[in-house]
Amino acid sequence: MAMDLSVSEISTLKPVAVTQAPSRVKQTDGQTVKKTYPNYKVIVLNDDFNTFEHVSNCLLKYIPGMTEAMAWEFTNQVHYEGLATVWVGPMEQAELYHDQLKRADLTMAPLEPA
């Protein structure tokens, strides 16, 4: 799984996958107010037992739109910074991805509002 990316290519990666939350419409006094549902962050934490390959493979498997380059960038961020926000979006999807990664034995932070 060797990657041929230069340092300048890696620095231009935009690692956070974001999905637009659906909106809800609320009517008050004859006016329609459109609000979006809150987004939540899926955060992977560093630990002493998961390998780089396992973390990267889990991100590729469970996070939609994840590329190999992004997965390795997130994996390095988890290792060197202690955590990485790997996905941001609606709560229901965030819960699914969080649970899938947790079942794969990744160490996860609780979901938190974005």
Per-residue pLDDT tens, the chain, 114 aa: give them.
Answer: 444 545 455 445 555 556 666 666 666 677 888 888 899 999 999 999 999 999 999 999 999 999 999 999 999 999 999 999 999 999 999 999 999 999 999 999 999 999
Write down the number of H helices and E strands in the chain.
4, 7
31 in any annotated domain: yes
- Cα(27)–Cα(29) distance, rounded to whole angstroms? 7
> 75: domain range?
15-113
Q: E strands within 1-114?
A: 17-18, 23-28, 31-36, 39-45, 83-90, 107-108, 112-113
Structural domain contains residue 87: yes
For the domain that residue 89 is a member of, what is the CATH number?
3.30.1390.10
Task: Evaluate whether residue 8 is within a structural domain.
Answer: no
In a domain, 2, yes or no: no
Domain total for the chain? 1
- Put simply, whether the predicted model's pTM sits higher than 0.85 gets the answer no
**Type of residue at 54:** H
Which pLDDT belongs to residue 32?
A: 82
